[in-house]
Structure 1
């Protein structure tokens, strides 16, 4: 096969195929007497595996897995794969915690939170509770996620029970990988209209992403197994 033959299957450029060979993502190609590369079914299988790994684990991990395989470090490659599965499991657990937290957070009225919430906190106390820095809390305020009052005497921020609720929700969504502007929209909706349509849509989208990644991992495993069982030559 020529580089163009491998590239055509995936809509790549021939230069991309050459770069993948250079970076060790596919095995080195043999050369003709005139210097042209000769690719085989082994290279085609490697390219399919590498692209499937990208979809499942990302560019960096996909490349690291192929590099490890080509360095005869199978256990290292499998460890990277295991870490990817562990990360996906953590994400699923996080999503489950977000759903449960949202059910709890949005089931109480503002008056309920004033009575049963953790009371007034300083920015340092709130940051410590969440395990983030005060700078992170200030960033959340700047983009509209939090809207604390100010002490009329000192000018310091005052985080009431409902602010803590908003911070809890923001922290969980942030751990789920959502950008700050999206989180601000969700929290604003919960804070004002008490609506959950946007939040429900966000969690549904998050679930879809995790499902898609899980299926991509299955596909990658199939292609990787085929590549490892393809004879050279």
Structure 2
């Protein structure tokens, strides 16, 4: 009778091994396991944790995800990926790529709006009604709620060109451009007072230069976050496939 064929035993790692392989400290490894970034490590008879390669992959994936979407969302995603199908996990990761692409597109629109404001200063031109947007249309284009645009209006950041007797707002090209810049600044972490100061300076040359610099910095940060997510890709795939392999055993 032939012996059953068995694969190689999985390599068991100590906490210090996982720390060295991932670039985290021993205490950080324990903290991230407690926070759910890592699947719980089984303990040996003497009480020591026994890790596997999937734990190293999870830590490396967390580093890239945290750089891309922030530590809170990264922790949530890694916890959820452990219960997802491969299709569901791929969809969740793709959503992050889409989110970064949307942020980049919004910032590019803000740059275009800034150039339009500069051109308008140099050569004023008439706006067409077809260029205008309703509050719902503009909110949809910016990825914000209509209530956000109303709040920006209350704060003096974006002003609709006119409000009808039915309180319906219409935003022309200049207001749309201002809204795109405000959205990009808010996405960069600027508070309302700082945004108000920047928007008030747009009619000065130094104000245009400052805003141009802020928007370019935002594009650079989005690029860095995208690269971090790409670097995490192989480790995320290893985490997801490890979960699927365990579920079929």
Relative to the length of structure 1, the TM-score reads 0.70
Tell me how far 1:69 sits from its aligned partner: 3.4
Contact 2:158 / 2:179 at 8 angstroms: preserved in 1?
Answer: no
Task: Specify which of 173, 178, 181 is matched with residue 181 of structure 2.
Answer: 173
Matched with 1:202 is: 214
Q: Which runs of 5+ in 2 are unaligned?
A: 1-12, 140-145, 160-170
1: CA distance, partners of 2:38 / 2:55: 6
Superposition CA RMSD, Å: 3.6
The structure 2 residue matched to 1:138, chosen from 154, 179, 185, is 154
Q: Closer, same or farther in 2 for the Cα pair 1:217/1:135, shift >3 Å?
A: closer
- For 2:118 and 2:206, how far apart are their aligned partners in 1? 7
Q: Quote the offset at 1:36 in angstroms.
A: 1.8
Per the TM alignment, residue 223 of structure 1 is displaced from its structure 2 partner at its CA by 2.4
Asked if structure 2 preserves the Cα contact closer than 8 Å seen for 1:2 and 1:39, the reply is yes
Q: How does 1:73-92 map to 2 (within 5 A)?
A: 73-92=85-104
In the TM superposition, residue 57 of structure 1 has moved relative to its aligned partner by 3.0
SS of 1:30's equivalent in the other structure is coil
TM superposition shift of 1:212: 0.8
- 1:122-173 deviations in Å (ceiling 9; x for gaps): xxx996785444333122x3xxx479xxxxxxxxxxxxx99x83x5444212
2:105 aligned residue: 93
Matched, 1:10 2:23: yes
Which residue does the alignment assign to 1:63?
A: 75
What aligned pairs does 1:37-52 form with structure 2 within 5 A after superposition? 37-52=49-64
Is this contact kept in 1: 2:37–2:59, CA < 8 A? yes
Unaligned runs of 5+ in 1: 119-124, 148-160
Q: Tell me the CA shift for residue 185 of structure 1.
A: 3.5
1:110–1:127 Cα change, 3 Å: farther
Q: Mark the CA change 1:56 to 1:128 in structure 2 (over 3 Å): closer, same or farther.
A: closer
Sort the Cα spacing of 1:110 and 1:103 in 2 relative to 1 into closer, same or farther, 3 A: closer
1:128 and 1:111 map into 2 onto residues whose CA distance is 30
The Cα offsets for residues 61-103 of structure 1, whole Å up to 9 and x where unpaired, read as 4223322332253222222111111112212221222222222
- Cα 1:168–1:181 shift into 2, 3 Å: farther
Name the stretch that deviates more: 36-45 or 128-137: 128-137
Judging changes above 3 Å, is the alpha-carbon distance between structure 1 residues 38 and 129 closer, same or farther for their aligned structure 2 residues?
closer
Q: 1:109–1:135: structure 2 CA closer, same or farther, 3 Å change rule? A: same
Q: Which moves more between the two structures, 17-26 or 207-216?
A: 17-26
State TM-score, norm by structure 2. 0.66
Structure 1 residue ranges, 4+ long, deviating more than 4 angstroms after superposition: 125-131, 226-232
